[in-house]
Amino acid sequence: MKRFFRLLMWKSTLLASRVLFLFMALNSMKAQQPESYAAAMAESIMQSHPDSYGGWDYVTGTVLRGYTELWKITGEKKYYDYIKNTVDKAVNANGSINGYILSDYNIDQIKEGCAVLFLYRETGLEKYKTASNLLRQQLKEHPRTTDGAFWHKQRYPWQIWLDGLYMGSPFLAEYGELFNEPEAIDDVVNQLLLTHKHTLDSVTGLYYHGWDEKREQEWADSVTGQSPSFWGRAMGWYAMALVDALDFIPVDHPGRDSVLTVVNQFSQAVKNYQDGASGVWWQVTDQGNREGNYLESSASCMFVYALAKAARMGYIDTAYRSAAIRGFEGILGNFVTAGANGSLNLGQTCLTAGLGYGRDGSYEYYVYETVITSNDGKALGPFILAALEIENAVYPPTGLKQDTTFKEGVKLSWQDNSGNETAFLVYKYQDNMLDSVIQLAGNTQIYTDTAIVAGIDYSYGIAAVNESDTSTMASLQHVINYFDESTGLDETMPDGEDDFVCFPNPVKESFTLTFTLSQDERIWLRLVDAAGRIMKIIPGDRFTAGKTQIEIDAHGFNTGVYFCTLFTDTSIFYEKLIVN
């Protein structure tokens, strides 16, 4: 089954002229303003890199991340083809990867794995799963610090670099979600929090580029082990790692709140060091207009993306979106120019920077010993991501849920998360087919539907709209249909021979999963809430034939509708559940 919906395929176009008012100050753009800077930059990249982007490396993976999000929003086949053509240049039919050497233990080489996982979700082709497993194997064996953080590379022993968090963590988190490996998600949370612990400067709230556990490197402080400077792009990598990994960390994960705390602290620090005049960020973030320092595009794109996404997802206050918009205006005004053929150019990017082997991490190193370049993938991919976030000017509603005390139909409620919408659109689905679209007033936060019948599975999506944009949907899959007698809500253990039941149902403090297997099989069980967020995973353990019972603690579950899905080697079972 395809994982990503075409949530916005029903729009006449996502890329209408909804953000042009933001960009009128871009004096260097002589041609007519593009309707979407995300699409315009993607087209410019394809002009200079036809058919595919590049070989297997983290820069290619960073660019493809932008195309993945652009394709999910627009559904345009050319973007999907560009992703697939690029990946297929490296991933062979047997799942091996050209140019990849596991034994190098180079975490940079993991990043393009996110595009591989994307293609596996979309195609189901075994070669993508095999390639993903190969990358997962590297992370199982990858050398670590004493407390479990990945070394940046084998040739950089005992060192954490901020760069590596983006290279490895989003892939590992998505792999864990996709293949029911909760320990992988545990590892990601640990990586993010260990990096915070070891690289944070408590005075500024910023993060040092690297940390050496052994305090042996020339750049490492003899007491803290930290490198000397706050390099913008290093912190940009970490910021993007945080917001992208959170997509796959379950809401009930014991470490999720700690990660969200880091996101909030980091966002405040990033906002504090946003340049007042330009709206963007400096190569050495805390040094402002010091001699030699320069405004840098890749870090600025990364910070805008991370702030805007975190605000959209509700991780931080939506007020941060104004800082992101100001940053994007600054990117357009300071870094983007029009090419002769109508393409876009993105300049003022630090080509590369690192630590060790003569690179001392000093201020002078970052500003005088690094090369400034244009149209570099490390800035282009984040630019597309940042543009998509800014161009989606209306936020979706949050907190969508069903009122399970209302038994005469379906009653939905949500919270306004945008403040500038003129209407809400309610999409009603019957058995996964669109039935109708209802338009409600912009101040509406409750919708009641009594036009339902027994025996039909209903789902709903709610989107916010204004005169220039439509948000993505908040979705409520498979609402409880109280007119459907097959729901079988019961406070006691069912007497029948059902292969898979949850009882009691409704649930108060705990419930028991009961399933019957005709033969010895492995089972995977996933419990999600009505918004599709993973609440509980049971990995592929083997059970014997016959009846088995597993008790699940429901403490900490909010009141609402949940869905249990049991996968075996040969079958899939499904049950609705209500928590009171």
Cite the active site residues: 163
* Residue 10, CB-side half-sphere exposure with 13 Å CA sphere: 14
3-class SS of residue 574: strand
The answer to whether the bond into 494 is cis (omega within 30° of 0) is: no
- Taken as a whole, the chain contains a residue count of 580
Residue type, 321: R
Give exposure, 82-101, as e/b (b: 16+ Cβ within 10 Å).
Answer: bbbebbebbbeeebebeebe
320-334 and 297-312 helices cross at what angle (nearest 10)? 150
Alpha carbon 479 to chain centroid distance?
Answer: 26
Q: Name the phi and psi angles at 447, rounded to 5.
A: -140, 130
Any idea what the Cα angle at residue 381 is, between residues 340 and 297, rounded to 5°? 70
SS (H, E, C) 62-131: HHHHHHHHHHHHHCCHHHHHHHHHHHHCCECCCCCECCCCHHHCEHHHHCCHHHHHHHHHHHCCHHHHHH
Residue that has been written with the tokens 């933001």 in this structure: 22
Structure tokens belonging to residue 503: 């009882």
Yes or no: say if 93 and 128 are a contact pair by the CB < 8 Å rule: no
Yes or no: say if 22 and 329 are a contact pair by the CB < 8 Å rule: yes
Nearest to 568 by CA among 545, 535, 552: 545
Yes or no: say if 90 and 132 are a contact pair by the CB < 8 Å rule: no
